[in-house]
Amino acid sequence: MVATSDICDANSSLLSTGELKVLLPLFKPYGRRQAFSGPVVTVKVFEDNVLVRALLESKDHQGKVLVVDGGGSIRCALLGGNLGQIAHDNGWAGIVVNGCVRDVDEINGCDIGVWALGTNPVKSKKKGLGDKHVSVNFAGSLINDGDWLWADNDGILISKHQLSATS
C-alpha cells in the first residue's frame, strides 16, 4: 500500500488542478486494515442500508472500495459487524461511510478498512431506497463510480485514475 502522503508529494500538480482530491478530515477509522485502496463503487442512501448490503454481498467487487453516501446522517448506522464480515469475505478492500457504523468491536475484528463519521447503535431502515453507481458529493469532493480511492491514517484521496508515488 502506497501512503497517501507519498501520493500527494509525487502528484502535487494534480492536487493543484483538482484531479487529485483530499476528502475533508471528518472520518474515523475502524476495522483491522489501517490502509486500503482500490477502484470506487458508489451507493447513495439515507438511513437505509438495503443497497449497501446488496453491493457488499456481490462477489464481483474484489479489491474495490465501497463509498456510501448516507447524507451525513448520524441518526442510525448504515454498516455493522455482519456487513463488515460480508465485505471481508467477498474481498472488498475497504468502505467509506458518510454516516455511522455500529458493532464496532465486530468490525474491528474484521480484516477490512472502514472509515465513517462515527458510531450509532440504532440500525437503519430496510426499504431498499437509494441509488447505486451514481456520483456522490460529500466531505468537499465529488466522487464518481470508478474513481480510485486511497485511505490511511493521514487521510482519504480520490482520483479519476490509479496513481503512483513516483513522479
Query: 52: which residues sit within 8 A by CB, 6+ positions away?
Result: 43, 45, 66, 68, 78, 79, 83
**Residue list, annotated binding site for Mg(2+):** 103
Residues that constitute the known binding site for substrate: 80-83, 102
SS3 for 22-62, per residue? ECCCCCEEECCCCCEEEEEEEEECCCECHHHHHHHHCCCCC
Burial of 166 (0-12, 13-18, 19+ CB in 10 A): exposed
Q: Which residues participate in the annotated binding site? A: 80-83, 102-103
CB 99 within 8 A of CB 111: no
